[in-house]
Amino acid sequence: MKTVVNSWNEWDPLKHVIVGVADGCCIPPSEPASEAKIPADSDMLGMHGPRTQDSVDKANAQLDAFAEIMRKRGIVVDRPTPIDFSKPIATPDWENGSSFGCMPPRDVILTVGSEMLEATMSYRSRWFEYLCYRPLLSRYYDEDSNMRMESAPKPRLNDASFKSGYLSENITIQARLAMVADKNFVTTEVEPLFDAADVLRFGRDLFVQHGFTTNLKGIDWLRRHYRDHRVHALNFPGDPYPIHIDATFTPLRPGLILNNPERALPNDQQGIFKKNGWEIVEAARPAHNQPPPLCYSSVWLSMNVLVLDPKTVCVEASEVHTIDQIDKLGMEVIPVPFRDAYPFGGALHCATTDVYREGRCEDYFPHQ
Ligand code: GLY
């Protein structure tokens, strides 16, 4: 039998990938997890329901074109199967007006070696999203006898999982930043919670952002699950909405990471990188002052790039400063128009998840 699933890091040569689709994507109604995450001045506030067909078509056009760029370079591209996201959902504990979508597979599926793991997720609206990837994961499972199809324990996400009244709408950005610096996040520690997009893979070491979408129990679960790995928690106190690590900390190749200058990794957490000769470079400023309308993410999606191999990176086409910076760092940049897809769940890293990269599990951090 052939090996279908194999990926140990964020930069080895990519050969097989999943690219999300925008079909049927909804803005879910407010829920305990999301209240803390939508800025008070956001155009998302109070919005819910299916996104317009015109916006879905535009996002899909860019997703399809991105998939085609990769196919032309010999990368196999698979697509998920959307469920009906507009349908109200429920568990014995709660009901929610809709699901979200399946544009950002990176949020849900974590590939480490031959295993694809469905994350617990931390929003009610994203509880059933794994179903969109089951047809692909089941196929890989049938085709590759070494492939491990895993699911982290489904969380209850009842009221005990969230701090009640965590934030008022009128809280200042300074107060938010103080809470984040204090590691005071919206989730409690009653059950393991993590989104896959809070994890970065560096061979034997996994770096996980502790923030709004991943709690300490989730990081502990990952530590117990990946017994051959070293799992490290990271915090980025300058981010008022610490949701997913991939617009904050971006490894480009062994030894080189871009770090969001507004969300610098604190000195006391830099030791492992310094001891092992990794350079952490301040990322270039985004080219835009605002994200596109009805977008959950910040302008720092400029950093949400997809590394195709240690010399080649896909960067959003209008992010001229990022393109220039990565070019000067000696890598080939493939510009990919993608801003129409941003509101559906992020940029080029979010919109993909690895199935196969060449290479093996290496130790990039022998000095712990
Ligand atoms: N958390 C993703 C962003 O910066 O928008």
The continuous run of DSSP H or E covering 282 comes out as strand 279-282
Q: Which atom of ligand 1 is nearest to the CA of 248?
A: 4
- H helices, E strands: number in the chain: 7, 19
Give 148-167 pLDDT, tens digit per residue.
Answer: 999 999 999 999 999 987 87
Choose which residue among 241, 258, 316 to substitute to test ligand 1 binding: the one with the highest number of ligand atoms within 8 A of its C-beta.
241
Alpha helices per DSSP H over 86-181: 134-143, 173-181
What is the C-alpha separation between 74 and 66, in angstroms, rounded? Answer: 13
Give per-residue pLDDT as tens, 78-97: 999 999 999 999 999 999 99
Which residue from 107, 70, 25, 73 is spatially nearest to 295, judged by alpha carbons?
A: 25
295 is catalytic: no
pTM, full prediction: 0.97
Q: pLDDT tens for residues 253-294?
A: 999 999 999 999 999 999 999 999 999 999 999 999 999 999
Contact between residue 327 and residue 253 where contact means Cβ atoms under 8 Å apart: no
Residue 244 among the catalytic residues: yes
**pLDDT of 27-78, one tens digit each?**
999 898 887 777 777 788 888 999 999 999 999 999 999 999 999 999 999 9
φ/ψ (deg, to 5) at 339: -65, -25
Q: Distance, CA 178 to ligand 1 centroid (Å)?
A: 18
DSSP 3-state assignment of 20? Answer: coil
Q: Which atom of ligand 1 is nearest to the CA of 244?
A: 1
**Radius of gyration of the chain measured on its C-alpha atoms:** 19
Q: Are the CB atoms for 8 and 359 separated by under 8 Å?
A: yes
Catalytic residue among 16, 25, 350, 354: 350
Of 336 and 240, the structure prediction assigns the larger pLDDT to: 336
Q: Given the CA of residue 298, which atom of ligand 1 is nearest to it?
A: 5
Give the active site residue among 12, 23, 107, 195.
195
Domain limits, the chain: 14-236+339-357
Q: Does pLDDT of 314 surpass 90?
A: yes
Check if 12 is active-site. Answer: no
Task: Give yes or no for a contact between 37 and 145, defined as CB atoms under 8 angstroms apart.
Answer: no
Q: Which CATH class is domain 14-236+339-357?
A: alpha beta
Ligand 1 geometric centre to CA of 272 (Å): 24
* Ligand 1 surroundings by CB, under 6 angstroms: 243-244, 247, 297-298, 300-301
